Amino acid sequence: MTNELIKHFEGFRSEPYLDSGGIATIGYGTIRYTDGKAVSMSDASISEEHAAYMLDAHVKKDVNPTMGLIMVPLNINQKESIKSMIYNIGSSAFHKSTFLKKLNNDDFKGAAAEFMSWIYVRKKINKGLVIRRTQELILFMSPAYKSDAGRKEIVAKDNILVVLLRWLIGLFKNQRS
């Protein structure tokens, strides 16, 4: 499921391109090949199968081990949304994130609000990242099974609007100052 979610957000490009941050990228958001070499704009095109292979290798090498930093139980939806975020922001950024600190302090609501800290490219809000983080947030806050609905760390779906509204209010306050 992780790879399919990432594929959905990243989209496939067979030719190298510059992502919204100006980084050479190919396939499903790949910036480094499996040998560690950075993607360059002069690289040859790749097949969708090769892109899927590189995505899988990156998830196994970097994303899955980074999940070991999380010390609280998660449902499958929470795991998948976090893996998608790690793939996008990088393991190093996730390791230092307030999201991880809040999550490991059993502050699931606070962690949920942190999704919207990761919507900027070069200090400007990126529409694509707003959409991605909103979808990841909704997944994170969704119980995986009916039995999960009573767990205290699951934020009720109707609170999604509260989290997003608080974020928007904070955003507009920051833009005025």
Asked if residues 120 and 175 have their Cβ atoms less than 8 Å apart, the reply is no
At 150, is the pLDDT very low, low, confident or very high (cuts 50, 70, 90)? very low
Catalytic residues: 10, 19
Q: For position 142, what pLDDT does the model report?
A: 82
Average pLDDT over residues 110-120: 94
- 161 against 157, higher pLDDT: 161
CA 113 – CA 136 distance, rounded (Å)? 11
Q: Taking all residues of the chain, what is their mean pLDDT, rounded to a whole number?
A: 86
pLDDT > 90? residue 45: yes
CATH T-level fold of 2-176: Lysozyme (1.10.530)
Q: What is the pTM of this model?
A: 0.81
Q: Over the stretch 65-95, which tens digit does the pLDDT of each residue have?
A: 999 999 999 999 999 999 999 999 999 999 9
